[in-house]
Amino acid sequence: MLFDPVSSLQNFFPVFLSAGLFFIGLTGLLIRKNLLVILMSLELMLVAVNLNFLSFANIYGFESAPVYIFFIICIAAAEAGVGLALTVRVYKKFKTVNIENLNLLKE
C-alpha cells in the first residue's frame, strides 16, 4: 500500500484542530482572571480531549470510544455544576467573579 498524503492529512486534521482548541483553552485558563471564563476554558479543553480521543479511535478502529467519551462528558458536567455553584457563592459574597477573591472564602 502506497502512502497517500491527502488521506493522511484528512485523518489527522481533527487531531490538529483538537490541539489548537486545547491550547486556546489552556491559554484562557492561565491568563484570565474571571471565574466564568476559566470554567469555559476548562470545558473547551475537555471538548478538545474528546475530539482528540474520537479522532484517534476513528484512525485506529477503537470500537468502545463512545463509552469513554460519554464518561468524560459526565465528568465535564459535574465539573460545570461544582464550578457554577462556586461562582454563585463568590458572586454573592464579593459581588464580582474575580479569582483573586477566592482566598477570602476561607474566612
Tell me if 41 sits within 8 A of 32, measured CB to CB: yes
pTM for the model: 0.82
Residue 107: per-residue pLDDT: 65
pLDDT (tens digit, 9 = 90+) per residue, 70-88?
998 999 899 999 989 988 9
Cell numbers 472564602: residue: 105
| Domain with 86 in it | 5-106
Provide the grid cell at 35. Answer: 471565574
Q: Is 78 exposed, middle or buried (0-12, 13-18, 19+ CB in 10 A)?
A: exposed
pLDDT (tens digit, 9 = 90+) per residue, 5-29?
666 677 788 889 999 999 999 999 9
Q: How many domains does the chain have?
A: 1
Task: CATH number of the domain at 30, please.
Answer: 1.10.287.3510
Residue 3: per-residue pLDDT: 55
